[in-house]
Amino acid sequence: MPTKPCPFCHLGPERIAGSNATGLIVRDAYPVTPGHTLIIPRRHVGSFFDLTPEERTGLLALLDEARASLERSHQPQGYNIGINDGPAAGQTVPHLHIHLIPRYAGDAEDPRGGVRWVMPGKARYW
């Protein structure tokens, strides 16, 4: 059975919002909030834990750059930053990508717990 090509290894230039030697800034194709952005390494690597120290530094610099851009263009009131690392964590594209999700007042009824809601029965700890 043929495997599908990696969607992050073959991005059109119109999708790229920024870059450095290590990675790319890309607007999410299926955004959960306005401005939802992905930070993607140039090297095809599945896990954050397989990055080199230099790649981690480069990707975190892109995360800062993407945030600065969103501050100018969308003025969010907060952010969720997340990585689905491995199928058990919900990773569906086997190329590492960091989600930078802008958050806005009122975009969720009760945003407390943030990323803890990946496990809904455990999210409410207060």
36 is catalytic: no
10 and 42 Cβ atoms separated by less than 8 Å: no
**Residue of 10, 36, 74, 97 marked catalytic:** 97
DSSP E strands: which ranges in 1-126? 16-19, 23-27, 37-41, 78-82, 98-103
State the CB neighbour count (10 A cutoff) for residue 64: 11
Residue 29 CA to residue 82 CA, distance in Å, equals: 16
Q: Which residues are catalytic?
A: 97
